[in-house]
Structure 1
Amino acid sequence: MPTIQTIYQGNLRTKATHVASGNTLITDAPVDNNGKGEAFSPTDLVCAALGSCMMTIMGIVAEREKIELRDTKFEIIKTMASNPRKIAKIEIVFDMKANISLSIEQQEKLKRAALTCPVALSLHPDVEQVVSFTF
């Protein structure tokens, strides 16, 4: 059984359906690449996947360690390269200040969890990953 089924809707837009849940998402090509830019681009989704994966793995560690991470925020900056067009750099800044005071040991566990998430480990080594944490 497939994980995702996708339909090309024309005009550089796709509609992907997560088979198990029925949830859908739309992608558009960005304006600077002939698209409408009305939805996430495929490269935006790669960046979002990286940040969400890091946060999810930190969440797993936090649950095990009895650390509350609710309301943690993060921002992502994507930098594209040309010739060939590809993601050159993904910068993620985690704002952990909304959480209780974390010991240095807890901070290090969370950082290690984020940096070893499956998406981070799956990206090509040429994609620079710059990750910072504010505690």
Structure 2
Amino acid sequence: MPTVKTSYLGDLRTESIHLQSGSQLVTDAPTDNMGKGEAFSPTDLLATATGTCMLTTMAIVAQRDGIELAGSSAEVTKIMSQTPPRKVARLEINLQLKTNIVLTEEQIKKLENTAHKCPVSLSLHPEVEQVVSFEWI
């Protein structure tokens, strides 16, 4: 069974439906590539997927260990290549992590390693530079 159905709406805009939940998502081409930039671009979704995957996988591991990460966040900066072909060249991911307990160095290392090994991060082409910083607050 398909996961997502995407329809092209015209004017460089798409609408995708997550078939299991019915959630909808609209994309636009970015303003630097003939679009209006009125919604996420496909490459914005790549950046979003990376940050959300890191937070989600860290939260799964944390939850197993009795650690709560609610209130944590990710800021992702997407940098496009300056030379053809057009592609994402670099993602700068700043994770701001809030916990319900004081973590040991071992717990921090385990969670940070989890972020680096999230499925989206591992699925990116090796040429996409991923710079990840962790801020434990």
Same fold (TM over 0.5): yes
User: How far apart, CA to CA, are the structure 1 residues paired with 2:96 and 2:80?
Assistant: 24
Helix, strand or coil: the match of 1:8?
strand
**Identity across matched positions, percent:** 55
Alignment partner, residue 62 of structure 1? 62
Partner deviation per Cα, 1:2-45 (whole Å, 9 max, x = no partner): 11000000000000000011101000000010000000000000
Alignment partner, residue 31 of structure 1? 31
User: How far apart, CA to CA, are the structure 2 residues paired with 1:108 and 1:77?
Assistant: 23
**Shift of residue 89 of structure 1?**
0.2
**Shift of residue 101 of structure 1?**
2.1
In the comparison of the two structures, how many residue pairs are matched? 134
Pairwise CA RMSD of aligned residues? 0.8
Q: How does 1:69-108 map to 2 (within 5 A)?
A: 69-81=69-81, 82-96=83-97, 98-99=98-99, 100-108=101-109
**Shift of residue 108 of structure 1?**
0.5
Unpaired stretches in structure 1, ≥5 consecutive residues: none
User: How far apart, CA to CA, are the structure 1 residues paired with 2:74 and 2:20?
Assistant: 27
Q: Quick check: 2:52–2:74 contact (8 Å CA) kept in 1?
A: no
Helix, strand or coil: the match of 1:83?
coil
Helix, strand or coil: the match of 1:35?
coil
**Shift of residue 103 of structure 1?**
1.2
Alignment partner, residue 44 of structure 2? 44
Q: Quick check: 2:74–2:93 contact (8 Å CA) kept in 1?
A: yes
